[in-house]
Structure 1
Amino acid sequence: MKMWNPAAPPAPLDLPMGTPQGVTAAWIPVRATEPTAPPPDVREVPLVNRNEAMRFKSAKRAEEHASGRYLLAQLLFISGYDPNLLRIDRDAYRRPMIAGLDFPPSVSIAHSGGVAAVVIGPNRLAIGLDLEPLDVTRQRNILPLMASPGERKLLGKLWDEDAEEASVRTTELWVAKEAILKATGLGMGLAPQSFTAEGLHEVQIPNRGIFHILRSQVEFDGRPFALSLSYQN
């Protein structure tokens, strides 16, 4: 089994205007793999759980996981922490949390379209990061799975008029909602169609409070992505 190594050095990730102070992010390309390729050995990557690493069946999943954990370790080191003394635990909703510190920084990990990205921030913040490539065509039938009734009506009309623009808007909405789901800590335990985010900068989540949404478009190696950062003070 081949030992894992990063596909490239980490690079800073520009976050949307309005990002709270103390929040920083970076990205790294995820190595492309063949569907039948065996997974690399990622057990020695910082912050990777060795037992979890043994269960990876696909090279793609192993590469994504290792890239995200490696990137998180780099950001923690730059921020003054020793990642070799820390570990990542998951709560009941599988949210990754840093263990080994009294007041650990908040973290969020995203990977899609051959890119892994990580954001870390102060302990007082709940944060969620998501991104998706904009050059991948979305299908209209995803709307009932992720859009509120009002959003379905708005985007459904756009799908009738301009499918290309509707695909972009659908991706941007999904990215915003995914960032919110991560920031709440509930993940898919919170139905994305249960709340509205289209056109909003703040969303009220029952029993969780208000979450801010920041959006931008970024490029990774010339490829356009939608990016959203959600946070709660």
Structure 2
Amino acid sequence: MAAPAAPAAPAAAGHRPVLLSALDEVPEDTAPAVAKETLRLSLAALPYVRDHCVYLQPEGWPEDSDRFPVVPMTTMLELAAEAALRHAPPGLAVIGYDQVRALRWLSVEPALDVPVTVRGEGPGRTRVVLGEYADVVVLTGERYEPLPGPDPTPLHDPRPAPVSAEALYRDRWMFHGPRFAGVHEVLAVGSDGIRGVLRALPDPGALLDAAGQLFGHWMQLRLPVDRLVFPATVDRIRFSGPPPAPRELVAATARIREVRDVTVRGDLELRRADGGVWARIDGWTYRRFGADERVWPMKFTPEVCGIGEPQPAGWCLARRRWTDPASQELVMRRYLGAAERAVYERLAPRARAPWLLGRIAAKDALRQLLWNDGAGPVFPAEVAVGNDPAGRPLAEGDLAAGIRLTIAHKDRIAVALAHRDQPVGIDVEPVTADPDALIRIALTPEELALAEGLAACEGTGLPAALTALWCAKEAAAKAAGTGLGGRPRAWRADGDPGSGRLRVLSPDGQPYPIRTTLLADAPLDHVVAWTERPAEQSPRPFHLTETSHGS
């Protein structure tokens, strides 16, 4: 038996568990430990987790971690139960769980060691903590206790299921592979719940995970926004007998008890063929993650759509579409490959969101260029974005290597431009709040007159026109590969205010045609300037819409 553990320090406010970042505080753990052990987890140790990968990647993709193979919360319950039974008297069965808390996603690629703490909390109650990933009280007993009969209350306003059980997996409503594809039939969807039939599959946690899929599908169908959900906590689970045999059919009803901005809570009832209740799950809470009309379709077809917004002039705009770190992490994993994630993790926390936005804009600009050229489906991980020795963005990978790329980000937006062979530059800046300083630092008298002409013709105001000239110089300097070098006045802007077209001359006289636009619908007005390129074929209508998997 291990020595008692020292009391755990409270978690710092900046290090809240990812899945609980919007829920109640995790209670301080101060009871003495009974036993400690270590679990070595990997895809080799848990091969069935290959069918619980959150992100689709191309067939044969070599990097398993890019698929994000995570242990289901219900499988973590099985791991906790095994740990509890190893330290319990022989002959006991697991009859339920209390206070289930999934704290973080438990990815098993790369392999990792998970510390396990097992602590008795009274007769038949054992608290098991799986490292920083899960915390649960396992209930054991010599016999199962009978459960009350089925709840006869009908669902309110039940309708036929719009998505069949087969389509749940075929059309990627669920990311689960065959070993976790346990929803056998979706019978009815009401305003307050959902009914279906589950098939018991043999892998640990698969049946309860299927129950959670049915519950989560109600959220996919009925929530108007933020329908991307993952299980976070359960108050109470009770079993009336041993698990159903493999392939046995189990009826399931999920009843919605509360819908909040960041969570959905409900109760579930699982019944065997004789109508008796086998399991009752009370207070199952799912965490909602940011998923608007551009994020949501990427769950289904990430190879043909993106968060970025392709612009008619060929550049791409990406807006920050999340409000919390957990949603940001999901977007990050959707877009970045393993090497890119390593760079992201090394950044200071406050620097990660703008850097990620820049990568999203760049990858979607590259993918749009490839789609326009007839490349077909392209996943974000297939177009890596690195940096050259001078720090400039560099398109990498078999599909994108050699494509010219430029990125800029500011505040909550990022922009990017890609071209097969032409030097490119792009910049974005908020409309200046200090026009006099910008005139003094960056513009000549002739450029001030040009800005006044632009403001008069475009009706955007002098501050926006001044900012446009500054951005134009930045974009040209990026295309030249030199930057402004601290000499913005050495880069001369001219043009025709009536046409809106600008030209920037580098210090050595190289001309760069520039276009600009005002983003008036951003949180702050921003100006974007980019190097103009020859007219190309309009983007193909390749992007799915919200209605493809809508409400």
Partner of 1:57: 348
Is the contact between residue 450 and residue 495 of structure 2 (CA under 8 Å) also seen in structure 1? no
- Mapped partners of 2:472, 2:291: distance in 1: 28
Question: Which structure shows the bigger proportion of residues in helix conformation?
Answer: 1
Describe the superposition over 1:118-174 as per-residue Cα deviations: whole angstroms up to 9, x where unpaired: 2222x221111222333x523422334322464368779xxxxxxx94422221111
Q: What letter corresponds to residue 175 of structure 1 in structure 2?
A: C
The residue number in structure 1 matching 2:478 is 182
Aligned to 2:504: 203
Instruction: Say which structure, 1 or 2, has more relative contact order (CA 8 Å, 6+ apart).
Output: 1
Distance 2:469 2:416 in 1: 20
Amino acid at match of 1:127: V
Distance 2:449 2:395 in 1: 40
Residue equivalent to 2:392: 95
C-alpha deviation, 1:190, in angstroms = 6.5
Size of the aligned set, in residue pairs, is 213
User: Which residue of structure 2 lines up, in the alignment, with residue 104 of structure 1?
Assistant: 402
Alpha-carbon offset, residue 84 of structure 1: 2.6
Rg larger in 1 or in 2? Answer: 2
Q: TM-score, normalized by length of structure 1?
A: 0.69
Matched, 1:130 2:448: no
* Cα distance in 2 between the residues matched to 1:46 and 1:228: 26
CA shift for structure 1 position 113: 3.8
TM-aligned CA distance change 1:98 to 1:180, over 3 Å: same
Give the drift of 1:87.
Answer: 3.0
Structure 2 counterpart of 1:218: 519
Deviation, 1:191, is 2.8
Which residue of structure 2 aligns with residue 159 of structure 1?
A: none
Q: TM-score, normalised by structure 2?
A: 0.33
Check conservation: 2:472, 2:504, Cα contact below 8 A: no
Q: Residues 76, 86 of structure 1: CA spacing in aligned structure 2 closer, same or farther, 3 A cutoff?
A: same
Other-structure match for 1:145: 441
Return the letter of the residue paired with 2:482. L
The residue aligned with 2:320 is 30
Please state how far the C-alpha of 1:186 moved relative to its aligned partner: 1.6
**Residue ranges of structure 2 left out of the alignment (5+ in a row):** 1-14, 20-288, 295-306, 453-459, 497-501, 535-551
Asked if 1 retains the 8 angstrom alpha-carbon contact of 2:404 and 2:422, the reply is yes
Distance 1:71 1:179 in 2: 16
* Other-structure match for 1:66: 356
Equivalent pair of 1:181/1:187 in contact (CA under 8 Å): yes
Helix, strand or coil: the match of 2:495?
Answer: coil
Q: 1:139 touches 1:167 (CA, 8 Å); kept in 2?
A: yes
Contact 1:181/1:192 (8 A) holds in 2: no
Identity of aligned residues (%): 20
Note if contact 1:183-1:232 (Cα within 8 Å) is conserved in structure 2.
no
Compared with structure 1, are the counterparts of its residues 33 and 142 closer, same or farther at alpha carbon in structure 2 (3 Å cutoff)? Answer: farther
State the SS of the aligned residue for 2:357.
helix
Instruction: Please name the residue that 1:118 is paired with.
Output: 416
RMSD of aligned residue pairs (Cα, Å): 3.9
- For structure 1, the residue ranges without an aligned partner over 5 or more in a row are 157-163
